[in-house]
Amino acid sequence: MRIFAHRGASGTRPENTLTAFTAAADAGATWVETDVDLAACGTPVLLHDTDLDRTSNLTGSLYTYTAAQLATADAGSWFCPDYAGEPVPTLDHLVTLANERGLSLNIELKSNEQGAERSHLLIDRVIAELAHLDPARQVIVSSFNHLLLAEFKRRAPQYAVGALFVAETFQPDWLSVLELIDAQAAHLEDRGLTCASVRALRQAGYGVNVWTVNSAARANELKNWGATGVFTDYPERLLHLES
By DSSP bridging, strand 2-6 and strand 229-232 are: parallel
Contact 120, 41 (CB under 8 A): no
Does 108 help bind ligand G3P (rule: CB under 6 A)?
Answer: yes
Figure out which of the listed residues 183, 187, 219, 227 binds ligand G3P, where binding follows CB under 6 A: 187
Residues 54-93 that bind ligand G3P (CB under 6 A): none
Q: Give the SS3 label for residue 232.
A: strand
* CB-nearer residue toward Ca ion: 15 or 86: 15
Rounded Cα–Cα distance for residues 189 and 182 (Å):
20
Other beta carbons less than 10 A from residue 13's beta carbon: 25
Does 33 help bind ligand G3P (rule: CB under 6 A)?
Answer: yes
Closest residue by beta carbon to ligand G3P? 211
* CB-nearer residue toward ligand G3P: 67 or 185: 185
Give me the half-sphere count of Cα atoms (radius 13 Å) on the Cβ side of residue 126: 33
* CB-nearer residue toward Ca ion: 63 or 144: 144
Q: Which residues contact 196 (CB under 8 A, 6 or more apart)?
A: none
Rounded Cα–Cα distance for residues 138 and 104 (Å):
5
Binding footprint of ligand G3P, residue count (CB under 6 A): 10
CB of 6 to ligand G3P, least distance (A): 6
Rounded Cα–Cα distance for residues 72 and 87 (Å):
6
Q: Calculate Rg over the CA atoms of the chain.
A: 17
Does 35 help bind ligand G3P (rule: CB under 6 A)?
Answer: yes
Alpha helices, H only, 90-194: 91-101, 116-130, 146-155, 174-181
Site string for ligand G3P, 190-229 (x = CB under 6 A): ---------------------x------------------
Does 6 help bind ligand G3P (rule: CB under 6 A)?
Answer: yes
Rounded Cα–Cα distance for residues 15 and 9 (Å):
7
Binding site for Ca ion (CB under 5 A): 35, 108
* CB-nearer residue toward ligand G3P: 35 or 86: 35
Rounded Cα–Cα distance for residues 41 and 12 (Å):
31
CB of 2 to ligand G3P, least distance (A): 12
Does 47 help bind ligand G3P (rule: CB under 6 A)?
Answer: no
* CB-nearer residue toward ligand G3P: 53 or 100: 53
Which stretches of the chain bind ligand G3P, using CB under 6 A? 6, 33, 35, 48, 108, 142, 164, 187, 211, 231
